Amino acid sequence: MKTEKMRPLVGVGVMIKNKDGQVLLGLRKSPHGQGTWSFPGGHLEFGETMETAIIREAKEETGLDISELELVSLADEMGSLEQGKHYVNVGFLANTVSGEAKIMEPEKCEEWQWFNLEKLPEPIFEGTALMIKNYLSKKIYQNKI
């Protein structure tokens, strides 16, 4: 694989908690991470702030309106380097959420479910696993799951 001109992409993700403290996870259908559970998220677009990107992605994917974002994770997602994918993931916690989660992009997500952080489904998407680890350890930046 040719790497001298390749650069990492910026991914954004958000941990959304309900009033019971459960987190929202979606079962991925897209080729990158297919069959894994992940937080809502996507790519940072040119000229877009990270907060604007995650608010947009959450609305596009789940129909939820989120606000009062808190930065909880920075991580290098490098588990798919052999496929030419390296992401710098920026993870937020949404402290305010309104609406009901629904499948807005059925080609990308099979279902949304709420889970306790202590009882998560398997397998977890690499970027989501890194964000959970950083959030629970209260360290914003760590690289290993």
Predicted local distance difference test score (pLDDT) of residue 58: 98
Predicted local distance difference test score (pLDDT) of residue 139: 92
- Residue 41's nearest CA partner among 16, 7, 78 is 16
Instruction: Tell me: pLDDT of 143 over 80.
Output: no
Instruction: Tell me: pLDDT of 9 over 70.
Output: yes
Instruction: Tell me: pLDDT of 2 over 70.
Output: no
133 neighbors 118 (Cβ within 8 angstroms): no
**Which tokens hold the place of 114?**
């709420």
Q: How far apart are the first and last CA of the chain?
A: 25
* Phi–psi pair at 51, nearest 5 degrees: -65, -45
Euclidean distance between CA atoms 42 and 61, whole angstroms: 9
Euclidean distance between CA atoms 28 and 85, whole angstroms: 17
Predicted local distance difference test score (pLDDT) of residue 16: 98
pTM: predicted TM-score of the whole model, two decimal places: 0.91
- Residue 98: how many CB atoms within 10 A of its CB? 8
Note the pLDDT tens digit of each residue in 11-57.
999 999 999 999 999 999 988 889 999 999 999 999 999 999 999 99
